[in-house]
Amino acid sequence: MIDPKHIEAFAQIVGKENVYSDKAHLIAYSYDATRTRYEPDAVLFPRNEDDVSRILRYCDTNHIIITPRGAGSGFTGGALPANGGIILGMEKHMNQILEIDLQNMVAVVQPGVINMDLQKAVEAVGLFYPPDPASQEYSSLGGNVSENAGGMRAAKYGITKDYVMALRAVRPNGEIIRAGKRTIKDVAGYNTAGILIASEGTLAVITEITLKLLPKPKFTKAYMGIFPSVEHAMNAVFKSLAAGANPVAMEFLDSLVVHALKVKLGVDLPEDAGALLIGDVDGNVTEEVAFQLEILERAFKANGATDFHIAHDSDERNKLWFARRNASPSITIYGSKKLNEDISVPRSKLPEALNRIYAIGAKYGFKVPCFGHAGDGNIHVNVMVDGSNPKELEDGHKAIEEIFRLVVEMGGTLSGEHGIGTSKAPFMHIAFTEAEIGLFRDIKRAFDPNNILNPGKMGLPA
């Protein structure tokens, strides 16, 4: 329980109507997409950057823990108040698109803006914001920056960090920091925006984001390749890219996912497909689209594709993408609880990585349906267990740890796009040396000497 005098002080700063410590609010702000729960002591809705600064300064002085929160849709607990304290909620007031600058092709947004709202706003004026995490309909751009969100289009267009031109942020001591500029080149001073991206709200509270926009490509076509095995499909991925293909997306579904889509949703897919690759190519001229599709078709067929299908209209394209979009909901046929991890390995290691992951699953008797962003090496690995069976849960977590060790051994990372938060924190020692974790601690201390900002995340001290 927080001292009522602090609640009073917060009300002085942001107004009574923006401070909540009733049970309903504490519960509402206790969870995210991990389904783990940690109750905060209070929930504050700052109205502007000045509120953020004053709240932080107060909390720093009084050693009150703060967890910044966008939409609370994270998969690893980044926005959970794992050590209590207050939630700084950005969705209520700090949710405005401040500017779409057509001349310099940038958007300036507050952290609470929903990803899709920005995408729609810029597409309405002929521009394009590529990062499209699966959560794009409900995740916030502040969260996207804090976790360095990826998405389907990363194969061609990169991830959130590739679009962040500038940030405004508040340090725990209340100081306002501008990092970066509305210019493509800026090499004056340390790249503080670079370290704030993916820092999971542990270093500073982001209050404004300037994002790079692109011209919207004029033509897009979807494709699907059907392969006899995961190995064939994965070879086709890196061989087509090495041959010069530059697809917007190159998404992978394994045979378990294909089966689940047929059984659960009646999706019309070949029963004997060992793996599918589904994606888009784009271009400003139809010849570029054709050029891309030709490279893909050639490389897919040279690597055993039994079919290469091009969607010729938007209905056909929606049908292909329906399969990909429903991969995650369909696989619940394999177990009531899904232990899902978003590992990433160098693309050439995908065939071996997946085969070894299936072998780990088989050892414990689990189905491990896999799907995801093969074009950039980032695969969602789902160990399906019976959530009501403690032994299965325990084994499932053992399998996950084995998978992490394997991925790290193959030059991969614990997380391609979900982050570390609370849920992967126990595995940090697998991926990083003592020296590397020591550096993370030193960086954290430099930004936040009193450790009030989201402590205990990413394996950092609680």
Q: Return the residues of window 176-215 that contact a copy of itself according to CB under 8 A.
A: 176-178, 181-192, 194-195, 197-199, 215
Q: Are 111 and 90 in contact (CB under 8 A)?
A: yes
Task: Decide if residue 439 touches a copy of itself (CB under 8 A).
Answer: yes
164, amino acid identity:
V
Q: Are 54 and 174 in contact (CB under 8 A)?
A: yes
| Interface map 387-426 toward a copy of itself (x if CB under 8 A) | ------------------------xxxxxxxxxx---x--
Indicate the length of the chain as a whole number. Answer: 462
- 3-class state of residue 195 by DSSP: helix
Beta bridge partner(s), residue 211: 107, 164
**Of residues 39 and 186, the one with the C-beta less far from a copy of itself:** 186
Q: Map tokens 């959130």 to a residue.
A: 160
Footprint of a copy of itself on residues 362-391 (CB under 8 A)?
A: 373, 376-378
| Interface map 249-288 toward a copy of itself (x if CB under 8 A) | ----------------------------------xxxxxx
Shortest approach of a copy of itself to residue 303 CB, angstroms?
Answer: 13
**What gap in Å lies between CA 232 and CA 126, rounded to an integer?**
38
**Of residues 171 and 367, the one with the C-beta less far from a copy of itself:** 171
Residue 7, token pair as written in the block: 């609640």
**Of residues 82 and 166, the one with the C-beta less far from a copy of itself:** 166
Question: How many H-runs (helices) and E-runs (strands) does the chain carry?
Answer: 16, 18
Footprint of a copy of itself on residues 143-172 (CB under 8 A)?
A: 147-148, 150, 154-155, 158-159, 161-162, 171
Task: Decide if residue 101 touches a copy of itself (CB under 8 A).
Answer: yes
C-beta neighbour count of 52 within 10 angstroms: 29
Shortest approach of a copy of itself to residue 459 CB, angstroms?
Answer: 8
Footprint of a copy of itself on residues 216-255 (CB under 8 A)?
A: 238-239, 241-246
**What gap in Å lies between CA 53 and CA 34, rounded to an integer?**
29
**Of residues 95 and 415, the one with the C-beta less far from a copy of itself:** 415
Q: Number of residues in contact with a copy of itself, rule: CB under 8 A?
A: 93
C-beta neighbour count of 337 within 10 angstroms: 18
Q: Map tokens 């962003």 to a residue.
A: 373
